[in-house]
Amino acid sequence: MTFRLYDTATREVRDFVPLEEGKAGIYVCGLTVQSEPHVGHVRSAVNFDVLRRWLSHSGYAVTLIRNVTDIDDKILAKSAEQSRPWFNLAYEMHARLTEALASINVLPPTYEPGATGHVPEMLELIETLIARGHAYAAEDGSGDVYFDVRSWPSYGELTRQAVDDMESAGDADPRGKRDPRDFALWKGHKKETEPESAAWPSPYGPGRPGWHIECSAMARKYLGPGFDIHGGGVDLRFPHHENEQAQSRAAGQPFASYWMHNAWITTAGEKMSKSLGNSLLVPKVLERVRGVELRFYMVSAHYRSHVEFSFEALEEAAVGYRRLENFLERASAVLGEIPTTGMPCADFVVAMDDDLGTPAAVAAIFDVAREGNKLLEAGDSAALRGTAASVRAMLAVLGLDPADPAWGSAGDDAALTGVVDALVAGLLEQRAEARAAKDYARADVIRDQIKAAGIEVEDTPTGPKWSLSKEH
């Protein structure tokens, strides 16, 4: 039972063979913190969080590095529009991102380095590239430094493109480039348009890092010259990842063994970055469904499949999730706390080992939950214990354990539950009396009253049971 994953570089699913037995080093391109995160942005984080959890579950010691790009053209442009320092914008958006990820139970990475904290590492790498003849300072005095694409014969190998077939961007300013496809490692400071705070000293004059170099430098620093998996969204394959690989390998490093790319969440058939308004910002979406339900929606689709976002589909997924949650609640009413040490079922393991087949894995959870519901009815609590623990364990691997403290303040909930229970108990007693007297009209009025307050009452063989309505 080996973990297999789709490698973008070879375009095939292959066995995961780590560089070091029992360890997995992963680098994921995070966000440019220039605006508030929407559901599309966080999908990537969820996907790699699932990867990380699955590898950990499988016994690997995982090091996950997810960077934050905290200086770039867009951040500078937006902060100028908003008349505030670029670092203030980046800092605030970073905080919003952290909040959004926490709300859908994405574990913090091992470390989250930012570009601005690694300028010396980048300059060192640039120096190496110049010394090896793969980079040059622009001849136009702009202070830019470019990677020399023509000097690296395997340029284009990641995305299988021939340099000559690449369309050179029509609007690109060729400035001091030897070839229009050469890309910036270092961007000379533009005194007229950019704040002084956006410049760092360098041998080529004051300036700021180019986009791609940060990832090469930080991956090198935290994971070493060679590491196992590099991930990000599909759009990053080219140019970003192609360029990273070119830089790092031209500098003499083996770089990533596997490349993983997640597909988009689109809206109305378009990528979300173009979408209008802010209705899909994470906090907005969480007004409609709970964080765990949003996460379930994302995990229900394979990470390499496009998802066409819709609130209808999201809410439908939420209903499905509640079915699993409901099973665990019912089981817990019989068993007490469900053990966290359950074993995932075989189908689940096979699905996850096959390139993180989360859709099939979720289907496997539903199958086990159905078995569990049968055991619940049969009153076989010995068998139920194992089944419920299995469901909980599988959900936990996907970051979807309903009992995970990440979903809310358990302390307050427990206290509130006691209060509500006391209040509802009286009403339920009245309803029981009415039912005993066969006064069903009155019994139903009481039930409707309770329901109007947002509490569902269900009659079970062991008496009535109330629960908070999960409908929003």
Binders in 372-401 for RNA, by CB under 7 A: 373-374, 376-377
Q: How far is the CB of 77 from RNA (least distance, A)?
A: 9
Burial 19-56 (b: 16+ CB within 10 A, else e): eeeeebbbbbbbbbbbbbbbbbbbbbbbbbbbbbbbbe
Near RNA by CB under 7 A, which window of 54-62, 222-230, 247-255, 443-451?
443-451
Near RNA by CB under 7 A, which window of 24-32, 83-91, 219-227, 403-411?
24-32
Q: Is 23 in the site for RNA (CB under 7 A)?
A: no
Near RNA by CB under 7 A, which window of 104-112, 124-132, 222-230, 442-450?
442-450
Nearer to RNA, 20 or 270 (CB): 270
Q: Is 178 in the site for RNA (CB under 7 A)?
A: no
Map the footprint of RNA across residues 68-107, applying CB under 7 A.
69, 72-74
Q: How far is the CB of 232 from RNA (least distance, A)?
A: 4
* Those residues with Cβ within 8 angstroms of residue 156's Cβ, 6 or more apart along the chain or in another chain: 162, 163, 166, 242
The CB density around residue 294, as the number of other CB atoms within 10 Å, is 25
Q: Is 429 in the site for RNA (CB under 7 A)?
A: no
Q: How far is the CB of 268 from RNA (least distance, A)?
A: 9
Near RNA by CB under 7 A, which window of 79-87, 124-132, 325-333, 400-408?
325-333
Calculate the CA dihedral of residues 211, 216, 218, 220 and round it to 10 degrees: -170
The secondary structure of residue 110, as a DSSP letter, is: S
Can you tell me which of 79, 248, 253, 262 binds RNA, judged by CB under 7 A? 262
Near RNA by CB under 7 A, which window of 54-62, 111-119, 234-242, 404-412?
234-242
Residue 239: cis peptide before it, omega within 30 degrees of 0: yes
> Rounded to whole angstroms, how far apart are CA atoms 362 and 396?
12
> Rounded to whole angstroms, how far apart are CA atoms 50 and 42?
12
Can you tell me which of 52, 302, 385, 392 binds RNA, judged by CB under 7 A? 302
Radius of gyration of the chain measured on its C-alpha atoms: 27
Q: Is 152 in the site for RNA (CB under 7 A)?
A: no
Q: Is 326 in the site for RNA (CB under 7 A)?
A: yes
Nearer to RNA, 18 or 145 (CB): 145
Q: Is 176 in the site for RNA (CB under 7 A)?
A: no
Name the residue with tokens 């984080």.
Answer: 45
Nearer to RNA, 305 or 409 (CB): 305
Can you tell me which of 195, 444, 445, 449 binds RNA, judged by CB under 7 A? 444
The CB density around residue 163, as the number of other CB atoms within 10 Å, is 14
The CB density around residue 213, as the number of other CB atoms within 10 Å, is 29
The CB density around residue 428, as the number of other CB atoms within 10 Å, is 19
